[in-house]
Amino acid sequence: MKEFIDVVPFLQSYEAWVRWLVVLWLIYTASLGGVLLFANRKVALDQKVTIDDFRLVADSAQRGLMLDLLVHNPLPIAAQLVELQLTFYGEQKPKGGLQSFSSESATYVLADGANINSLSAGEVEEKFRYHTQIKYPFAGQDYAEVSIPLSQTVNKGKTDRFIVRFETKQLPKETHHHIEATIRYNGDKLTKVRTVALQN
């Protein structure tokens, strides 16, 4: 460091303590610049993964309901989609405690399970699938909830499209006119709800 002080001519006219103070200031500035350059940035609180598009897919083979979801990740990190939460209801939600274009990269299937109100969920090619339950949280109401495990990674600043296909007659019911979708990602973070109208 003494060599640096000796090389810079204008520092020679100052007293030794001033020259060392300048050196310390330069070291501090360089260190702060390195921290700003290499430290991980915090994700902005207002940034969330969003469902940019949610619609019904016309199925020429008429195999059942098909949903098309387009997800956008504005975060500076990858988003791991882990669960799709769907709710089915009629003209209005029941009252009492409810809160309120590229090709697809995957197709998830809901098929009948072994027991009543039981479904199996997973990708088309998967040999083993998860079991999921149709929940009816309000007695006497057709309001239904079902959870579908996902395994999708959406890179930072990118979008991804995937399909959900229903190979069951348990959902939707004739009384269901709307479907709401919410996606859980990166642990316990949730997208905003998107709704699509069923054409019964």
Q: Is 189 helix (H, G, I), strand (E, B) or coil?
A: strand
In angstroms, rounded to a whole number, what is the distance separating the alpha carbons of residues 72 and 58?
Answer: 23
**What is the full DSSP assignment across 34-95?**
HHHHHSPPPPPTT---EEEEEEE---TT--S-EEEEEEE--SSS-EEEEEEEEEEESSSPPS
CA 192 to chain centre: 10
Give the largest Cα separation in the chain, rounded: 90
pTM: 0.66
What are the residues facing 149 on neighbouring strands? Answer: 83
Q: What is the pLDDT along the chain (200 residues), one digit of tens a residue?
A: 455 555 556 566 667 777 778 778 888 888 888 877 777 766 555 689 999 999 988 765 566 788 999 999 999 999 999 999 999 998 777 665 544 344 445 677 877 776 766 777 777 655 667 788 888 888 778 889 999 999 889 999 999 999 998 888 888 888 999 999 999 999 999 999 999 998 65
Asked if residue 197 lies in contact with residue 178, where contact means CB atoms within 8 angstroms, the answer is: yes
